[in-house]
Structure 1
């Protein structure tokens, strides 16, 4: 179980996050919505342990992975090496299977700079799941993709989530993306940002977008 209680987060005198508390269990996906600049990505960095400068407490599992808004890949390494070097216990056969799952099996020897943005995002997703994360953090992973590519990525992510069942946090501006992937949604608003709504998605809401 991931349990988060952020009492306060500030950058100097600017307070950006107020009192925010939530949990997410294995197999659950919690979507975080809110206006641009409200602090959603800041909250994710706190949960991931990338920003320890806050008041509050986060309990997270040991194995976690984060997919950023921009694919953070090793440009001087091939697609296959982007998996095997980051996860040394991953065999080449396992890495190739993951590349196959995300439709990049024929790109194993290609460098990230030779891929389209959609393919780079697929590789970033494969790398995240390569570590068998107990907690998966997705920070607007479909931003800047065309509609068809975003739909393909959503379907792929949904399949991988069902297969691996990590606890998942998804930041998105899209209600449709949230309904497609999440069991629950919470909204942040205000200055400093606070939790203004948290509710489950009804099954029929999700099925309509599956």
Structure 2
């Protein structure tokens, strides 16, 4: 069970989160929705362990994968190397299989800059799922895509999640995406005095 217990989060003097408490069961997908600037990505960073300056605690597994809105790829490495450097145990054959699952077979020697945004997002998904994670964190992974590409990405993500069943926190501003992928939807909102209250 993944447990998030955020009691307070400040950036300097500004409070950005109040009480945010929730759990994610193994295999469950939880969508976190809310208006822009309310603190959704801050919750994500705290869960991922990249922001530890908060009051509270988080229980998370060691084996995690994070898929960001902007694909965090190594531009000077090939598509294949972007997988094998992060997952050295995969080997070339395993990396090729992971690329095939996301429709990037034949793109192994290209560099990220030679891929479309949709292909870069697929590569980021391949990297996230190459070694099945216990916890998957996705931050607006379908934003800025045209409707046809977004639909293909949603279908691909559904398929990968159904196969691996990680516990998932999915941050989105799109209610339809949340309803399609998530088992449960949490809304983050608040007032100026208690920003981001959620229980």
Specify if TM > 0.5: yes
Q: Deviations over 1:191-210 (max 9, x none)?
A: 411127xxxxxxxxxxxxxx
- Computed over aligned residues only, the root mean square deviation of the Cα atoms, in angstroms, reads 0.8
Structure 2 residue 88 is matched with structure 1 residue 88: yes
Structure 2 residue 196 is matched with structure 1 residue 193: yes
Distance (whole Å) between structure 2 residues aligned to residue 177 and residue 195 of structure 1: 20
Aligned positions of 1:144-159 closer than 5 A: 144-159=144-159
Stretches of 4+ aligned residues off by more than 4 angstroms: none
Distance (whole Å) between structure 2 residues aligned to residue 95 and residue 165 of structure 1: 20
Shift of 1:57: 0.5
Distance (whole Å) between structure 1 residues aligned to residue 82 and residue 140 of structure 2: 21
Shift of 1:168: 0.3
Gaps of 5+ in 2: none
For 1:73, the equivalent position in structure 2 comes to 73
Q: Deviations over 1:77-119 (max 9, x none)?
A: 1111100011111121111111001000110110000000000
Distance (whole Å) between structure 2 residues aligned to residue 93 and residue 27 of structure 1: 27
Shift of 1:131: 2.8
For 2:111, the equivalent position in structure 1 comes to 111
For 1:4, the equivalent position in structure 2 comes to 4
Aligned positions of 1:25-104 closer than 5 A: 25-104=25-104
Gaps of 5+ in 1: 197-210
Aligned positions of 1:146-185 closer than 5 A: 146-185=146-185
Higher relative contact order (CA 8 A, sep 6+): 2
TM-score (norm 1): 0.92
